[in-house]
Amino acid sequence: MRVARQVGLYAALLAITAFVVVPIGFAVLGGFKDNGQLSVNPFGLPEPWNFANYAEIIASSAFWRPLLNSTIIAVATTLLLVGVAALAAFVFARFAFRGRELIFMLFAVGLMFPFAVAILPLFVLLRELGLLNNPLGVILPQAAFGLPVTIIVLRTFFRAIPGELEEAATLDGCGPLGFFWRILLPMARPALATVSVLAIVASWNSFMLPLVVFNDPSWWTIPLGVRQFQGQYGQDTARILAYVVLAMVPALAFYAVAERQLIGGLTSGAAKG
């Protein structure tokens, strides 16, 4: 009976595994084929293995340039966002003052704003500020829209740090800034890692904003690069598959490294810990 149950469980898991893996496997193997092979044999192993697609993309700036841009924009967004949010979360967590809850609510309501609502006025605003085709035109709004989540997560964490620590630091002559910088931030490393990972992933995958801000290909990020590549090589399916696979690699590698923080961050609120 137990054996039958185990077999059933594994059969279900393998079915779902196929559901997840088959499209990705199709792309990975497809990149090693030419289009002739792809039309008669979309699913089997390549015969012969054709390395030209991957090799050409790895050797071209059409891949490395967007990768670099995505990295610059993700890192800058994250540094700005986490820095600014940590300062605000510190005040929300450790100070009592009139209007605190009201200002906090303002940020919390920001969770409800679909980014699409702001995209048109943002575009007009960035055009007036001369920030189109400028990475700041993507970095600043992304950081601004990331504030609600980041402030809420950090505030919860900062609150959990015992008041006695602050008392002791104050007695030792630490001002609020000193306490924040020397004690609170080092203690909050796990929380900072969590919100940073969330911010990096959000920036890495964002599309609508860079789509309207960057006309000029020199600042295109990976999502824009993938889309452009698909348009450019329309019928060359094998080549597009190779590009898609290479474009997945950084995200999956990052996921492998930061899986804990990512999953922890996403479930931190949902799991009533």
Write out the binding residues for another protein, residues 239-258 only, by CB under 8 A.
240-241, 244, 247-248, 251-252, 254-255
Residue pointed to by tokens 């904003």: 209
Interface pattern 124-163 for another protein (x via CB under 8 A): xx--------------xx-xxx-x-x-xxx--xx-xx-xx
Query: What CA–CA distance (Å, rounded) separates 232 from 222?
Result: 15
Q: Which stretch binds another protein (CB under 8 A): 46-54, 56-64, 71-79, 93-101?
A: 93-101
Closest of 143, 80, 76 to residue 110, by C-alpha = 143
The answer to whether residue 190 forms part of the interface with another protein (CB under 8 A) is yes
DSSP state of 181: I
What does the alpha-carbon distance between residue 108 and residue 100 come to, in Å, rounded to a whole number? 12
Task: Please provide the size of the chain in residues.
Answer: 273
**Contact by Cβ (8 Å): 107, 151:** yes
What is the Cα–Cα distance from 167 to 169, expressed in whole angstroms? 5
- Interaction between residue 64 and another protein (CB under 8 A): no
Q: Give the one residue of 73, 191, 199, 242 binding another protein; rule: CB under 8 A.
A: 191
Nearer to another protein, 182 or 260 (CB): 260
- 51 binds another protein per the rule CB under 8 A: no
**Cβ proximity of 209 and 132 under 8 Å:** no
Among the listed residues 116, 135, 160, the one whose alpha carbon sits nearest the alpha carbon of residue 68: 135
> Of 34-42, 45-53, 57-65, 71-79, which part binds another protein (CB under 8 A)?
34-42
Q: Kindly state whether residue 273 participates in binding another protein, applying the rule CB under 8 A.
A: yes
The answer to whether 212 contacts another protein (rule: CB under 8 A) is: yes
Please give the structure tokens belonging to residue 12. 């279900």
Q: Which of the residues 103 through 122 are near another protein (CB under 8 A)?
A: 103, 106-108, 110-122
- Residue 59: CB minimum distance to another protein, A: 21
Tell me the DSSP string of 98-110. Answer: TTHHHHHHHHHHG
Our CA dihedral for 20, 26, 28, 31, rounded to 10 degrees, sits at: -160
Judged by CB under 8 A, the residue of 17, 133, 215, 232 near another protein is: 17
Q: Which of 30, 32, 53, 220 is in the footprint of another protein by CB under 8 A?
A: 30
Does position 266 interact with another protein (CB under 8 A)? The reply is yes
Count residues near another protein (CB under 8 A).
117
Single residue of 32, 54, 204, 219 touching another protein by CB under 8 A: 204
Return the structure tokens found at 242.
């190779």
Which of 57, 74, 226, 242: binder of another protein (CB under 8 A)?
226
